[in-house]
């Protein structure tokens, strides 16, 4: 009897994890706003974004949540390529601007281009920070600090979950 219960629990865990992963892939596939070539500004409501984004991406991108340090897929990645907004596909950073800051999140000292990101004052949690938003869809990416390396002395501290990466060929 114990083996049956154990196998049932294992199967149910596998089933729910599989369904969750399939749902996340399905949700990303139905995002009609994702494009790595489109330049037009996107002005959708959070309700519209919630309908096309996985919940964890939505929470960071649209509600300005933060993933835990040292848990994101790109915090320690050292591969040549380009980082894009995971919400809309807008190009943000290149790997040549990425550096190991030790903070637990992917860090960059400059953006890919002049219109890659935009900035907004952030006074949440009693702190004075500058929020970094995607230049195309206004999704929350992270924050910028003045403790980065030369030549800019900036540290764009980004959440991995709102970044997509394409390796250089």
Active site (catalytic) residues: 157
List all residues 6 or more positions away from 29 whose beta carbon is below 8 Å from its beta carbon: none
Residue partners of 161: CB distance under 8 A and separation at least 6: 56, 57, 60, 67, 72, 73, 86
| Residue 88 in tokens | 């809309």
Which value, in Å, is the radius of gyration of the alpha carbons in the chain?
18
* CA-CA-CA-CA torsion sign (113, 116, 92, 153): positive
Q: Is 44:137 a contact under the CB 8 Å cutoff?
A: yes
- Candidates 13, 105, 31, 24; CA nearest to 68 is 105
């Amino acid at each position: 009897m114990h083996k049956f219960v154990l196998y049932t629990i294992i199967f149910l865990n596998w089933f729910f994890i599989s369904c969750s992963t399939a749902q996340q892939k399905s949700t990303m596939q139905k995002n009609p706003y994702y494009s790595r070539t489109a330049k037009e500004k996107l002005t959708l409501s959070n309700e519209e974004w919630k309908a096309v984004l996985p919940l964890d991406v939505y929470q960071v991108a649209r509600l300005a949540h933060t993933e835990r340090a040292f848990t994101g897929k790109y915090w320690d990645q050292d591969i040549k390529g380009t980082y894009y907004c995971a919400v809309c596909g807008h190009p943000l950073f290149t790997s040549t601007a990425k550096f190991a800051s030790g903070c637990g999140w992917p860090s960059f000292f400059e953006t890919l281009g002049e219109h890659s990101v935009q900035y907004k004052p952030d006074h949440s949690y009693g702190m004075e920070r500058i929020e970094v938003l995607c230049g195309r869809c206004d999704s929350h990416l992270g924050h910028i600090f003045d403790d980065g390396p030369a030549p800019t002395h900036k540290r764009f501290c980004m959440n991995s979950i709102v970044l997509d990466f394409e390796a250089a060929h």
